[in-house]
Amino acid sequence: MFLPPDLTSIREFRKALRQSLEENTFISKDIQQIELAADEALTNSISANYNSSSEETIICRWIVNNSKFTLWIVDYGSGLKKEKIEEQVAEARPSSLQEFLKKVKTYQEGKCEVLPNKGKLTQHRNLGKGLLIMQSLMDSVKIMYHCKEGRISSDPTDSSIRGSIIELAFDSKKH
């Protein structure tokens, strides 16, 4: 899927993703988990493109193979910064969904960002703990970077980064 860096892309993306997962007989609970994690990843990519003044198309591709789902989202932001990754990894995982939602709400109350929605800039509060949400819902979350000359790197300090590649993986047999 090729999507413009605009919040309106999320609805189209979620609809296509849900349809694909339903066609592949994923259960409702698993679909909801995958949708939420994918929504977070796409929102982060839209934000990254916008904050880097990039109007490049965001690429979303997924594969379903039996019980296994893998999604890649490619953006043209400046790449997820090393400090942000380390901050998220160091944070203790919540012991319950309620604790997790409370942490997210507390974080969001102090943070608001402006993002494009239908081509107009609008306040968006659902930002903050996207990486933590993805890690909590998916079996695997990988962050890679596409660089100049077509290279792929896993080093967030690489000086030739053109954007991020987020890989989310989920196996319904594990859940």
pLDDT on residue 100: 64
Helical axes 130-137 vs 82-90, angle rounded to 10°: 50
Q: What would the pLDDT profile of 115-173 be if each residue is shown by its tens digit?
A: 888 888 887 765 556 888 899 899 999 999 999 989 999 999 899 999 999 999 999 99
Query: Where exactly are the structural domains of the chain?
Result: 2-171
* CATH fit for domain 2-171, picks 1.10.3720.10, 3.30.565.10, 3.10.310.70, 3.40.50.300: 3.30.565.10
Q: What would the pLDDT profile of 46-95 be if each residue is shown by its tens digit?
A: 999 998 999 999 999 999 999 999 999 999 997 666 555 555 555 556 66
Model pTM above 0.75: yes
CA distances from 168 to 52, 107, 125, 134, 159 (A): 23, 23, 23, 8, 25
pLDDT on residue 139: 96
Q: What would the pLDDT profile of 7-51 be if each residue is shown by its tens digit?
A: 999 999 999 999 999 999 999 999 999 999 999 999 999 999 998
